Each structure stands twice: as C-alpha cells, then as structure tokens.
Amino acid sequence: MKNIQAIFWMVVTTLLFAIVTGIVRYIGSDIPAPVAAFIRYIISTIFFIPLIVKMFILERNKNNRQFYWARGLAHGFGVILWFFAMARIPVSEVTAIGYITPIFVSIAAFIFLKEKFSASIIGALVICMIGMIIIIRPTASGIATGQLSMVIATLFFAASYILAKKLSSTESTLEILVALNFIVTITLAPFAVVFWVTPSLQDVLFLGIVALFATAGHFTMTMALKLAPITITQPISYVQIVWASCIGFIFFEETISLWFSIGASLIILSSAYVTYTSSKQNKNINNLVAKD
C-alpha cells in the first residue's frame, strides 16, 4: 500500500513541477536567472520564518545539519542553472534533459543508500533512458548553452535528491522543506546581488505563484520519498514529460515531433510497468504476512 501511495504523491509532484516550468518559461529571460530564482525562494522562506528560527537558532545542535546544508547548496546551484535553461530552450526539452537526473539518482541510491535493483526496475530505467535519448537525439554539432546548463543542473539536482532521501529517514517532511527553502535562499543571495535587475510587479506575482507550486511539489515529493525507495519513486517522475509537453504545446505553440512522441511513449509505458510491478510485489508481501 505504501508503494501505491508513494506513486500517487510522485504523480502529483510531476504535475506541480510542470506548472512551475510553464510559469518560468512564460517569464522568460527578462530577469537574470539568479535574481528570478532568489525571488522565488525568498517568497517561500518568508512564510517559514518562525520554523527557520526554531531550526537554525533555537536548535543549534540539531542532528544531520551538515546534510541540510549540503542539500541546500547543491539545490541552489541547480536552480540557477535550471532558470537559465528555462529561458532559452523549450519546456519539453528542459524536461527531457532533466530525466538524466533520475538515472543518476537511481545509480547513486544503489551505490550509497544500498537500495536493491530488481530486474523490472533495471529494465524500466533502461527503457526510460532510451526514451530520453530518442527525445534529445544528440548530434555532432554540440550542445547549446541552455542544454549544457540543464545537463549540469541535473547533477546538482541528483545530489539534492539523494540527500533528501537520506534526511527523510529521520527528519520530518516539513523540516526538510523549510531547511531547503532557507539554505537555497542564502545560496542564491550573492548571485542575485551581482546580477540584480529590479523585477516588475507582474514578475514578482508570477514568481510568487512559482514559489507556491514549487513548495507544494517539494512537500509531495518528500512524502513520496518517505513511503518508498527511490527505485520505485524515480521512474514515476518521467510522467512529468506528459504535462510539460501539453503546457508547451498549448501555451507556447511548441510542436511535438514524432520522435518526441515515441520517446515519451516509452517513458510512460515503463513508468506504468513500474507501478504495476510495485503493486504486485506489495500484494504478494501482504499475502505472505497474512498467511503467517
């Protein structure tokens, strides 16, 4: 049952993050990436000030503090690169390149968190990776600046995800969320000062909406991480490509090619298979417990 609940929360997470991607794409490159990212995070941080004081001032001897800071720093750099990429390449392409993250995360979970790989999970990851390659279709002409930024961002986000999984085993969902917002805001502050451009009231409003949906997405993601191993939750994150493609097509007139459709289909089918497999495994375990 926990696997199914985790999968549900991951599907919700993909929808929330896709909405965030669409709004950031709409804002475009009028605001430098570090400034836009800083405003988004400081809006979230303001709402958590009482909890921030409790966690970082009143509870100075709190365990796992080093993991909180490591995750916040990694995520902060990833966010700057993500905002930069979002203003320069299509929504669907950002999402497709972002699928390198789950691959890194699953491998890291196997190495560092000692999570096990079943044959079905390995197969799903391989199929997802093939689908991603079909979508991107790399050529010998090199990688554009926006694409390169997104590729590097995936490394930082993978580190953030692994640290979030480690923290979720001992820390509350709310504490993990509060710490992330606070530390990322601090990480972004120096970059925002250097590249500062005063945003319009409309831009601030949209970034506030981004903060709302992104914070909700991090909350649901942490809920999923608490309920199931990364090897179960990560393949479901590929569903985000469906939402991103729809947003790009409807709001930004970004076309969906045949190759993109084939790659996305492989990703969706493999994610559905993981859902079915995890549900079946969970049912078998429950039956064994009942017999005992």
Percentage above 70 pLDDT, the chain? 83
Q: Average pLDDT of 230-259?
A: 80
Evaluate if residue 125 carries a pLDDT over 60.
yes
SS3 state of residue 117:
coil
pLDDT tens track for 63-109: 778 899 999 999 999 999 988 888 888 877 787 777 777 667 767 77
pLDDT tens track for 209-223: 998 998 899 889 888
Nearest C-alpha neighbor of 20 from the set 243, 223, 201? 243
For the chain, give every domain's residue range. 2-291
CA distances in angstroms from 177 to 43, 172, 238, 250, 274, listed in the order given = 14, 9, 22, 31, 27
SS3 state of residue 231:
helix
Nearest C-alpha neighbor of 214 from the set 56, 74, 28, 83? 83
Evaluate if residue 277 carries a pLDDT over 70.
no
